[in-house]
Amino acid sequence: MSKFRGAAAIVGIGQTPYYKRATSPEPEVKLALRAITAAADDAGIDVRDINGFVSYASERSDPAKLMPALGTREVKFASLVWFHGGGLPATLNIATAAIMAGQADVVAVYRSMAESSSQRLRVIVAQNDTSSQYLVNGLDSPAQILALRAQRMMEFHGVPQSALYATVQASYYHAKNNPRAYGRNTEMSAEIYNNARMISEPYRLFDCSRENDAAGCVLVVSAERAKDLKQKPAYILSAPMGTMEGGGALEENWRPYYATAGQTELAERMWRESGYGPKDVDVAQIYMNMNSMGIGAMLDHGFFAMEDAGAFCTFDNLTAPSGKLPINTSGGDLGEGFIHGFGLVPEAVRQVRGTSPNQVPGAKLSLVTGGPGDLMSSTALLGSEETL
């Protein structure tokens, strides 16, 4: 049995409101402070006792900036996961490893974004590492690059547009019940979806994630410590990160498979380490930079085969409380808001606690997948105590 499995748990969650991009009344660092203090309050932990800090990608609210205002007693561990949204669940891997190795006791995993403090989200996330092969040929944004993969998924592999629409429909349906969701008042229908402007074909506007200003944080502690805290712990059963052979910075030359999320090997490791499989999962927060990539993530995790994507991805199957695989129950990256996917982690925790705005009754196993199609990605399975 893996030593990692269940060694640590998420015991606190904190989130600021989602603001329309570039309109946050507070700068990025202040948003980060608000999310971290909220997570400490939620857990019943003195914020000064947080001694580990983990984030990913282009995060700029580093612990050196935060510690004077948090009254941090000592920073013992700080780390950033490489690349982009693919690093999201990997933060839980790093946090757990730090705790297991005795390098930190209370780890804040967080992400903060405010356009006024940096740059537009879709620019800053690229971190100026987009190769000339893309830029010379008119490709800049993840929306365009992932559109290439979506075109392959739809035209070559035959995944229907209805599958993409079902994820949009499910996301906005869930967002309606979530007072935090930026898209809670957005009406959605097939007509609205189809008539929305094209961004980069085959993606229409609502196939794309939002861009918001906000911050979020979850606190990770050892399983032992988690037992005595205020909240029901969400145990981290597995949170592998990585890239398969034939992947990496290969500019649309990924082999052996291309149109999905590049998460097949990660998912296999996760099922092996956790002892569970796709059939056991109660609810999933699927990272959707773009929704076809989220469908790719579900494919790579074994929830269905390519030829069954259309039949599986329906409104009924993807919605709480009783769908086969309710996804993005806070509204997710499409409907709730988007700060590099971070909102998915607190929602995965709420499902284990039983406090989601779209609760899956009795949810015990809660999945959160990382940025699909990223150069490196990750995925994580959270569970209640009875899943240990």
Taking the complex as a whole, the smallest distance from the CB of residue 188 to other proteins amounts, in Å, to: 21
CA 361 to chain centre: 22
Q: Which one, 139 or 261, has the nearer CB to other proteins?
A: 139
Tell me which of 129, 191, 228, 386 binds other proteins, using CB under 8 A.
Answer: 129
Query: Are 53 and 75 within 8 A, CB to CB?
Result: yes
Q: Which one, 115 or 336, has the nearer CB to other proteins?
A: 115
The stretch near other proteins (CB under 8 A) out of 94-102, 134-142, 182-190, 272-280 is: 134-142
Taking residue 65's Cβ as centre, other Cβ atoms within 10 Å add up to 13
Sign of the dihedral through C-alpha 95, 97, 100, 102: negative
Tell me which of 23, 189, 253, 322 binds other proteins, using CB under 8 A.
Answer: 253
Confirm or reject binding of residue 185 to other proteins (CB under 8 A): no
**Gap between the Cα atoms of 337 and 124, Å rounded:** 17
Residue type (1 letter), 302: G
Tell me which of 68, 101, 128, 386 binds other proteins, using CB under 8 A.
Answer: 128
Binding residues for other proteins, rule CB under 8 A, total 40
268 sits in which H/E element: helix 264-274
**Gap between the Cα atoms of 232 and 248, Å rounded:** 38
Confirm or reject binding of residue 149 to other proteins (CB under 8 A): yes
Confirm or reject binding of residue 200 to other proteins (CB under 8 A): yes
DSSP 290: B
Number of helices (H) and strands (E) in the chain: give both, helices first.
15, 13
Residue type (1 letter), 334: L
Confirm or reject binding of residue 82 to other proteins (CB under 8 A): no
Confirm or reject binding of residue 195 to other proteins (CB under 8 A): no
Residues in the chain: 388
Confirm or reject binding of residue 196 to other proteins (CB under 8 A): no
Q: Which one, 243 or 329, has the nearer CB to other proteins?
A: 243
Confirm or reject binding of residue 156 to other proteins (CB under 8 A): yes
Confirm or reject binding of residue 136 to other proteins (CB under 8 A): yes
Angle at 248 between CA 242 and CA 251, to 5 degrees: 150
Confirm or reject binding of residue 48 to other proteins (CB under 8 A): no
Instruction: Summarize as ranges the residues that interact with other proteins (CB under 8 A).
Output: 120, 122-123, 126-141, 143-144, 147-149, 151-152, 155-156, 197-202, 249-253, 258
